[in-house]
């Protein structure tokens, strides 16, 4: 059995994926990299790695010869690190979102075409079990034609944007709420198979954390139009109070609708199908595939990361494109970039580029 040499960059987010890669018999972790020596030492102890496999410099990490690089680093450096890894001969599995600018989105695509390496964005939310269930319902026509969808990610993390105790700005001061869109748009686009063509955004006030840059915009809302004519509404905040923090999804079709609970994914969702029921019914929205072993939960978001890694490795072994390849990754990333630009212009419909 072929063993893939895996390198992890960004131990904070990489630790969940690291545990899954460490348990995967087709992989061996050969290198880890983090700018923080403390974080690196903590992960080194967890995985029992020798000093020779731990690095604080990215160039030294790449020189160690990983075949797969997992990027769990800040979004503004994703493009530079992705391109460098591919030019070093590595396949890349990158945390969300793919990049911070449209130009960097194109740079990643160009690097894939130039090097022939495989790229996948690790959008774990599309691998939640209920998303697969909803996709089956939509593809079978149970809800009719989907004409509208809504999604929200309301997750206050002000201390990760700006640390008031030290006066230190974090990298998320550069990440507008709408930039972090793939957790919301990803499942909708996965379920429908659609692509966003136009975007409109609003929101630029900073009452909660005025020193936090664009990352501390109180709330942003976006409207999108897709190639099929479907509309999507997205709501995002990283600072406004919300307990519990929530993901919310809803799909409205010509024969019915389905939605998650307003209190979060742990609560019951609702389903209504015309002709099947007199009123909507409570449904479960499970994050985990019950057929998988307990070890598949090591990523921290149900069984999503486990299935994602299995998909990525299968694509490498078959020599095929992964589910969220360089094009689909940008279709889940670029709409948020464009919607934020619209908001900065006071609200105007802007075209979302096609990367295909």
Note whether 166 and 116 are same-domain residues: no
Q: Which 3 state secondary structure label does DSSP give 227?
A: coil
Note whether 142 and 213 are same-domain residues: yes
Note whether 112 and 144 are same-domain residues: no
Note whether 62 and 145 are same-domain residues: no
d(Cα 177, Cα 2) in Å, to the nearest integer?
41
Tens digits of per-residue pLDDT, 285-314? 999 999 999 999 999 899 999 999 999 999
d(Cα 176, Cα 71) in Å, to the nearest integer?
20
Note whether 252 and 160 are same-domain residues: yes
Tell me which residue range forms the domain holding 49.
4-124+308-324
Q: pTM for the whole thing?
A: 0.97
Of all residues in the chain, the percent with pLDDT exceeding 70 is 100
Note whether 208 and 335 are same-domain residues: yes
d(Cα 323, Cα 27) in Å, to the nearest integer?
20
Note whether 193 and 277 are same-domain residues: yes
How far out from the chain centre does Cα 214 lie? 20
Helix (H) or strand (E) holding 287: none
- CATH number of the domain within which 209 lies: 3.30.360.10
DSSP letter string, 198-213:
EEEEE----SS-GGGG
- The reported pLDDT for the residue numbered 253 is 98
Tens digits of per-residue pLDDT, 189-241? 999 999 999 999 999 999 999 999 999 999 999 999 999 999 999 999 999 99
Give the number of domains in the chain.
2
- CATH number of the domain within which 313 lies: 3.40.50.720
């Amino acid at each position: 059995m072929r063993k893939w040499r895996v390198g992890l960059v960004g131990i904070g987010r990489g630790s969940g994926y690291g545990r899954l890669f460490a348990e995967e018999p087709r992989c061996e972790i050969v290198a880890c990299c983090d700018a923080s020596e403390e974080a690196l030492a903590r992960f080194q102890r967890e995985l029992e790695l020798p000093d020779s496999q731990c690095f604080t410099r990215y160039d030294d990490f790449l020189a160690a010869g990983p075949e797969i690089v997992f990027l769990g680093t800040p979004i503004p450096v994703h493009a530079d690190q992705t391109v460098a890894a591919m030019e070093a001969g590595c396949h890349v599995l990158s945390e969300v979102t793919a990049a911070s600018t449209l130009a960097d989105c194109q740079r990643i695509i160009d690097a894939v075409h130039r090097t022939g390496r495989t790229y996948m964005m690790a959008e774990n939310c599309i691998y939640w079990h209920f998303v697969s269930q909803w996709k089956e319902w939509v593809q079978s026509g149970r809800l009719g034609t989907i004409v509208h969808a809504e999604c929200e990610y309301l997750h206050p993390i002000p201390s990760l944007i700006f640390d008031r105790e030290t006066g230190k700005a974090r990298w998320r001061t550069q990440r507008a709420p709408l930039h972090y869109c793939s957790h919301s748009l990803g499942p909708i686009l996965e379920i429908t198979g659609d692509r966003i063509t136009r975007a409109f955004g609003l929101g630029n006030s900073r009452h909660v954390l005025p020193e936090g840059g664009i990352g501390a915009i109180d709330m942003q809302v976006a409207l999108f139009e897709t190639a099929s004519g479907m509309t999507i509404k997205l709501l995002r905040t990283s600072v406004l109070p919300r307990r519990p923090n929530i993901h919310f999804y809803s799909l409205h079709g010509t024969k019915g609708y389905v939605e998650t609970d307003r209190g979060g994914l742990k609560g019951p969702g609702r389903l209504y199908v015309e002709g099947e029921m007199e009123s909507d019914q409570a449904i479960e929205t499970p994050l985990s595939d019950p057929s998988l072993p307990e070890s598949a939960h090591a990523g921290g978001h149900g069984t999503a990361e486990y299935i994602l890694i299995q998909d990525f490795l299968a694509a490498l072994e078959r020599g095929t494109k992964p589910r969220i390849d360089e094009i689909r990754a940008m279709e889940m990333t670029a709409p948020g970039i464009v919607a934020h630009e619209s908001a900065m212009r006071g609200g105007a419909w802007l075209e979302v580029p096609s990367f295909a």
